[in-house]
Amino acid sequence: MSPSGLPARSVRHEPGVALALIALLLASLVLLPAAPAMARTQAEPDGGSATRSPGSSYWVYVANEASDAVSRVRFGPDGLVVEHTTEVGIRPADIEGAHGVTVSPDGLYWYVSVAHGTPFGQVWKYTAGSDLLVGKTEVGLFPATMALTPDGSSLFVANFKLHGNPVPSSVSAIFTPAMVELERIETCVKPHGSAVDHEGVLHYSACVGSDQLVEISVDSMRVTRRLLLTPGAERPLEPLGGAGTGGPARCKPTWVAVSPDDRFLYVPCNGNRETLEIETTDLRITRRFPTGRGPYNAAVSPDGRFLVVTLKGEGAVAIIDRRSGEERQVTTSRPVTHGVAISSDSRYAFVSNEAVGSTRGTLDVIDLAAAELVASTPLELQSGGIAFWKMEAVPAH
């Protein structure tokens, strides 16, 4: 019996099921070319981690969707180490889909979205460090990415609704102290990429299936603005009644990242090989960054210097200097590059790679200033959602 009171389960490696799940997910988001050969780093990931050691220790959590497991990983002077793997789900015979993960601003808790349900998915809450399950709540269909308000009391999860007819889905608003869903806000077709501004006033999500950016008031839990992102047809839409507006999706926005000063949003167009910079004052597109195939997740470094975009179709990461617009690419250790989280000192990007079929996913560490892969280690199957937990200085000896 696990500490949470649920039956203990071993991490499953089911190549056939994992391959089917991955094929379905990729078909819904981006059509990828044949997977390139794995990039060689300082050491093959299956042989252990390749490492250039830092002077501090950093921790991240990574969700492994096809293994129903969340990995807690430390990067420090002793290398890149998987400290603990938490098994998620209650049905041993099924893959329940540990998809997104996020950490509370005070560092006390982490949350994981469990995408598959009967029919609805759930969000589970754990203590950080001890990794004990302390709460859960039901949300919408196929919950994916999540974001917390700065005080940690409200969590917004985009209900991607992967399966079935392409009809508008929702964003669930959760009161985290009690793990209660307060509202299920209809937004658009296939919402993804949940983000809250640093003031805790506005929530943003992207709409893979209807080419939209949607803004929600955290206070009223209502849609306040919409922006159509279809290339050549970008324009504001009516906040209400526009959930399904537009023709076939061509931008296919998959993520929203907010700049540290809340002035700009960054939205990868997964279907159009570019990432958009959008001013928050009037939702005006100010710059376009060509990125290559399948831009997917994005993050802005806390110091505001770098925009980092994962390129799912390239097996790479784009590091963009926000001031000059200069872009450098770093090839990742495995294909199907998924998530990115940046350390609190803006030094490292932690990048998850799903890999393909029965090949285990990996976690890469990239030095942002040098644009160099400095560490990599294998995780479980289909490594995806990722969140930075904390950084600690290493005591001098």
pLDDT tens per residue, the chain (397 residues)?
Answer: 443 333 334 344 444 444 444 444 444 444 343 333 333 333 444 444 555 678 899 999 999 999 999 999 999 999 999 999 999 987 777 888 999 999 999 999 999 999 887 789 999 999 999 999 999 999 999 999 999 999 999 999 999 998 888 899 999 999 999 999 999 999 999 999 999 999 999 999 999 999 999 999 999 999 999 999 999 999 999 998 777 766 688 999 999 999 999 999 999 999 999 999 999 999 999 999 999 999 999 999 999 999 999 999 999 999 999 999 999 999 999 999 999 999 999 999 999 999 999 999 999 999 999 999 999 999 999 999 999 999 999 887 6
Task: Find, among 269, 106, 100, the residue nearest to 177 by Cα.
Answer: 106
Cβ-based neighbour number of residue 46 at 10 Å: 11
CATH topology of domain 15-393: Methylamine Dehydrogenase; Chain H (2.130.10)
In the chain, how long is the greatest CA-to-CA distance?
A: 63
Name residue 368's amino acid. L
Name residue 10's amino acid. S
Q: Is residue 190 left, alpha or beta, with left meaning phi > 0 and alpha meaning psi from -120 to 50?
A: left
β-strand pairing of 180-186 with 191-196: unpaired
Q: Report the pLDDT value the prediction gives residue 264, as an integer from 0 to 100.
A: 98
For 232, the token pair is: 């050549």
Global pTM? Answer: 0.87
Residues in the chain: 397
End-to-end CA distance of the chain: 40
Q: DSSP class of residue 198?
A: T
